[in-house]
Amino acid sequence: MLVRIAGNLARFVLSLLAATLAVFALMRVLPGDPAAIAAGENATPEVVAGLARQFGTDRPLPVQYWDWFSGLWRGDFGVSYVTRTDISPLVADKVQVSLILVTLAMALALALAIPAGTIAAVRHNRPSGAVISAASQLGIAIPGFLLGIVLVSFFALRLGWLPANGWVAPGVDFAGFASRLVLPVIALAGVQSAILVRYVRSAVLEVMHEDYLRTARAKGLSPLGALVRHGLRNAAIPVLTVTSVQFSALIIGAVVIERVFVIPGLGSMLLSAVANRDLLTVQSVVMVLVALTLVVNLLVDVLYTIVDPRIRAAAQGER
């Protein structure tokens, strides 16, 4: 167990290191000079050179990399030369927004997908199961932003029940915060639950044919009782894997929903930073994303061992 976690941690650190190099190199290969963008369409070469000096982008690349990397080591993303502010508090702020949005959407997606997928599996040869399967197929095909636009035009514009877009910090006005979250969370959860339904369904279908389930039935448990007590736990592993992958993808993938609903999340921040060639901010946001993905993977790994004692036993066997 400990070896396993230590191994994971080592991989975690190595991945982060590789990511710093990759993102730094990628941002330097991208066409477009940050000083030229800041100088704009009336710029003279002198002005661009002056800005490059101020930004520090005229220094040799290894110096720039080391400068950034040594800051990262101290937990400091540095000061963006484009926005002229500390990057760390800004990123921290946007991470919270994205995490609230994505966590709620994922929770809603799971709350919908687990029962729906289970029903679809249990009744897979009955019409009701087929309807759920067909609906999930359709759900996957509907892009989240489209669902978002439809939700807005119906609930916000026609009925006037909810605000159309925007973001209010929960500490400022909780009712405003919650009411603005409803539609984006549903829009984001829609596609996700459709995807997850399919995984839940196939995972449950698989365990339904296992011997231990027949044994449980033989002991006198009802079909559903047997499935809930013995089957779901086994079906959980593939679902957990998909959930973790989707979760990481959503943090950035939510940028489209952020645009539709004008939510100042990490994705929007990354987009505008790339457009302005705000290299340091882009690097910082990408590092946060890499770290988040790795943390989610680490957590899922721990969850595996909790859900499935066999993995725990195997890990102990290794030792």
Ranges within 41-60 binding another protein (CB under 8 A): 41-44, 47, 50-51, 54
Site string for another protein, 270-299 (x = CB under 8 A): -xx--xxxx---------------------
If one asks whether residue 200 binds another protein (CB under 8 A), the answer comes out as no
Read off the tokens for 290: 């890499």
Q: Compute the distance between CA of residue 38 and CA of residue 49 in angstroms, rounded to an integer.
A: 11
* Interacting positions 207-266 with another protein (CB under 8 A): 259-262, 264
If one asks whether residue 82 binds another protein (CB under 8 A), the answer comes out as yes
Helices marked H in the chain — which ranges?
A: 2-29, 34-39, 45-55, 61-73, 87-122, 127-141, 144-151, 174-208, 211-218, 223-226, 232-253, 255-261, 266-275, 279-307, 309-318
Read off the tokens for 127: 């019409």
Q: Which of 3, 21, 92, 154 binds another protein (CB under 8 A)?
A: 154
Q: Which of 109, 156, 239, 288 binds another protein (CB under 8 A)?
A: 156
**Of 24-32, 238-246, 289-297, 298-306, which part binds another protein (CB under 8 A)?**
24-32
Question: Coil, strand, or helix at residue 86?
Answer: strand
If one asks whether residue 196 binds another protein (CB under 8 A), the answer comes out as no
If one asks whether residue 125 binds another protein (CB under 8 A), the answer comes out as no
Q: Which of 95, 102, 110, 119 binds another protein (CB under 8 A)?
A: 119
Read off the tokens for 187: 């829009």
* Nearest C-alpha neighbor of 149 from the set 168, 166, 164, 138: 164
If one asks whether residue 99 binds another protein (CB under 8 A), the answer comes out as no
Q: Which of 2, 29, 175, 218 binds another protein (CB under 8 A)?
A: 175
Cα distances (Å, whole numbers) of residue 273 to 11, 138, 229: 29, 35, 49
Q: Compute the distance between CA of residue 15 and CA of residue 12 in angstroms, rounded to an integer.
A: 5
Q: Which of 7, 115, 170, 309 binds another protein (CB under 8 A)?
A: 115
If one asks whether residue 33 binds another protein (CB under 8 A), the answer comes out as yes
* Nearest C-alpha neighbor of 101 from the set 252, 239, 242, 294: 252
If one asks whether residue 198 binds another protein (CB under 8 A), the answer comes out as no
Q: How many residues bind another protein (CB under 8 A)?
A: 72
CB under 8 Å to 315, separation ≥6 — which residues? 1, 3, 4, 305
If one asks whether residue 170 binds another protein (CB under 8 A), the answer comes out as no
If one asks whether residue 112 binds another protein (CB under 8 A), the answer comes out as yes
In the complex with another protein, the residue whose CB is nearer, 17 or 130, is 130
Shortest distance (Å) from residue 125 CB to another protein? 16
Site string for another protein, 127-146 (x = CB under 8 A): -x--xx--xx-xx--x----
Helix axes 174-208, 87-122, angle to 10 degrees: 40
